[in-house]
Amino acid sequence: MAKVLIPTPLRQFTDKQDAVIAAGSTVGEVLGALTAQFPALRNNLYNAEGKLRSFVNVYVNDEDIRYLDKDATAVKDSDTLSIVPSIAGGRS
């Protein structure tokens, strides 16, 4: 099972855990297991069509899945997934 690092803004949906262990052989399966365990997290990660929201970045170890096989990216038990929401703002 892979380790999924939960960013601070999403910890309210994972019982305040900063990391969760989830099963799966692909990123999609791991995130599916994560959202099955914590259903309130789903709306924060996926849009109505079931696609990862555009502002949610996912990394396997240090590799951005957008440049790999997206949610079909293979995951090993020793891997760490990081969920990194984009942050916008600043001064105009």
- Average pLDDT in the chain: 94
Closest CA to 25 of 78, 90, 87: 78
Q: Residues 2, 80: contact at Cβ < 8 Å?
A: yes
Using the predicted structure, report yes or no on whether residue 86 has a pLDDT greater than 90. no
Report pLDDT digits (tens) over 2-31. Answer: 999 999 999 999 999 999 999 999 999 999
Count of C-beta atoms within a 10 Å radius of residue 62: 7
**Domain 2-85 classified CATH 3.30.70.3000?**
no
Q: Let me know if 9 is exposed, middle or buried by CB neighbors in 10 A (0-12, 13-18, 19+).
A: exposed
User: What residue segments make up the domains of the chain, in order of their start?
Assistant: 2-85
Give the pLDDT of residue 37: 97
CA atoms within 13 Å, Cβ hemisphere of 78: 0
